[in-house]
């Protein structure tokens, strides 16, 4: 789950389509970001004003959140109580239209806690009821809507996953998709970045008792609709992974087939599912097409993994036309390359590229 989480859940915002040939891609590094393999800067999202948010790993492998304005100015975001050891720190995932930043921090005991940072810089931290208090457990906040509602998941003492919605007044609602498994590494996980849309809907993924993945949509009144993409595998670790939801109720993600390869899909509000593959995507286990973000018009951005295990960015327009891109400096070996995550209504896309030394750098692609 996106941590980068068990189940490879990854994340999405709003996209307008710019032509690949007109693109400009700029890379950036947060101040203090480490320069060794596994360290560096990750861009998670971008708003209409061009502010980018995300997190970086420093030379001690500690995570720090950041905000980057359109003029390139960085503000560090470190939640109170965040640990200072390897794998600990602050992870920023979603910025609301009001400027509130949501995410989670890992403390010195490796337990996760949710936070909201208001536009004035003040923090509110919270834990979902029944969240576990041991290493690898806790509360993972990853979405915030315009009203201040926060969605995410928590891992309980049995390492089972549960979705939650925290209202702007601090009240918690816990939920599980029907047929979600109750064992370790099973359960319900809302999608990262925009699983919570303006209408109060939440999309996500759940793993059943056999650890097969399925998509879900939760309405404002709590009703949950589940779905499977055609062609999704039915073995452990296979199935339908959800990446995000737009204001029109269209959701998308990728499914893992019986050979372990990934394929993109988009599900209309009517329930109709269209599958797609980016030309050049590999067909072996761990390769393929992985949509990460969708805008109100239904354009999709994400990554595809080629037959050599290298990542590349893509943009799929609402008419199905697909263009691809690579950030400058992206490595060309397995596990390296370009990972496109989110985009704004102006057509700007952010994410990160992994260079030939295994170091991550944020990028901004403008049409």
Residues 6-17: pLDDT tens digits? 333 333 322 322
User: 22: pLDDT confidence band, cut at 50, 70 and 90?
Assistant: low
How many Å apart are CA 116 and CA 331, to the nearest integer?
Answer: 34
- Would you mind telling me the total number of residues written for the chain in this entry? 367
Q: pLDDT: is 295 or 40 the higher one?
A: 40
- Where residue 108 falls (left for φ over 0; alpha for ψ -120 to 50; beta otherwise) is alpha
- Residue 195 is predicted with a pLDDT of 59
DSSP class of residue 196 equals: B
CB 55 within 8 A of CB 90: yes
Number of domains in the chain: 1
**What pLDDT does residue 194 have?**
54
| Number of other residues whose CB lies within 10 A of the CB of residue 62 | 22
pLDDT at 62 over 70: yes
**DSSP one-letter code for 325:** E
What's the pLDDT tens digit per position in 312-361?
999 999 899 999 999 999 999 999 999 999 888 888 899 999 999 999 99
The pLDDT, as a whole number, for residue 297 is 79
Q: What mean pLDDT is predicted for residues 128-149?
A: 95
Residue 39's alpha-carbon distances to 30, 35, 44, in angstroms, are: 11, 6, 15
Q: When comparing pLDDT for 6 and 74, which is higher?
A: 74
Residue partners of 122: CB distance under 8 A and separation at least 6: none
Residue with tokens 């944020």, as numbered in its chain: 362
Share of the chain above pLDDT 70, in %: 92
Three-state SS for 6?
helix
Rounded Cα distance between 324 and 346, Å, is 18
Q: Name the maximum alpha-carbon separation found in the chain.
A: 50
What pLDDT does residue 14 have?
28
Average pLDDT on 37-63 reads: 96
For residue 1, is it within any domain?
no
CB 334 within 8 A of CB 309: yes
Rounded to whole angstroms, the Cα distance separating 303 from 312 reads: 5
pLDDT at 114 over 60: yes
d(CA 290, CA 293): 10
21 φ/ψ angles, rounded to the nearest 5 degrees: -70, -15
Domain of residue 318, CATH code: 2.130.10.10
pLDDT in tens, 179-224: 999 999 999 999 855 557 767 899 999 999 999 999 999 998 899 9
Question: Please, what is the average pLDDT of the chain?
Answer: 91
Tokens of 61: 């492998």
Domain region containing 324: 6-366
Query: ω into residue 4 within 30 of 0, thus cis?
Result: yes
Identify which has the larger pLDDT, 249 or 62: 62
In a 3-state reduction of DSSP, which class is residue 307?
Answer: coil
């Amino acid at each position: 789950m996106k941590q980068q989480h068990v189940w490879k859940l990854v994340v999405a915002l709003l996209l307008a389509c710019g032509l690949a040939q007109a693109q400009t891609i700029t890379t950036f590094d947060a101040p203090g970001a480490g320069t060794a393999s596994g360290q560096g800067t990750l861009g998670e999202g971008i708003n209409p004003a061009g502010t980018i948010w995300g997190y970086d790993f420093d030379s001690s492998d500690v995570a720090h959140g950041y905000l980057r304005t359109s003029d390139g100015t960085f503000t560090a975001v470190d939640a109170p109580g965040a640990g200072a050891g390897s794998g600990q720190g602050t992870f920023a995932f979603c910025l609301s239209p009001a400027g509130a930043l949501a995410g989670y921090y890992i403390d010195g005991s490796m337990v996760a806690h949710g936070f909201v940072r208001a536009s004035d810089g003040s923090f509110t931290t919270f834990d979902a009821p029944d969240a576990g208090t041991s290493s690898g457990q806790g509360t993972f906040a990853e979405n915030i809507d315009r009203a201040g509602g926060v969605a995410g998941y928590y891992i309980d003492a049995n390492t089972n996953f549960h979705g939650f919605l925290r209202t702007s007044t601090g009240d918690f609602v816990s939920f599980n998709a029907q047929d979600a498994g109750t064992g370790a590494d099973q359960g319900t996980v809302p999608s990262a970045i925009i699983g919570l849309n303006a209408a109060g809907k939440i999309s996500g993924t759940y793993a059943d008792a056999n650890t097969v993945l399925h998509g879900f949509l939760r309405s404002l009144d709590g009703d949950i609709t589940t779905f499977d993409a055609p062609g999704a595998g039915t073995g452990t670790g296979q199935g339908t992974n959800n990446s995000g939801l737009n204001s029109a109720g269209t959701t998308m993600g990728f499914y893992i087939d019986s050979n372990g390869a990934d394929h993109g899909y988009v599900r209309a509000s009517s329930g109709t599912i269209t599958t797609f593959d980016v030309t050049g995507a590999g067909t072996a286990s761990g390769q393929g097409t992985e949509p990460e973000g969708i805008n109100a018009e239904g354009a999709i951005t994400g990554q595809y993994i080629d037959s050599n295990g290298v990542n590349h960015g893509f943009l799929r327009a609402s008419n199905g036309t697909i263009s691809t891109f690579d950030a400058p400096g992206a490595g060309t070996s397995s596990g390296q390359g370009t990972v496109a995550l989110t985009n704004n209504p102006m057509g700007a896309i952010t994410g990160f590229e992994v260079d030939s030394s295994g170091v991550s750098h944020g990028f901004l692609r403008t049409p």
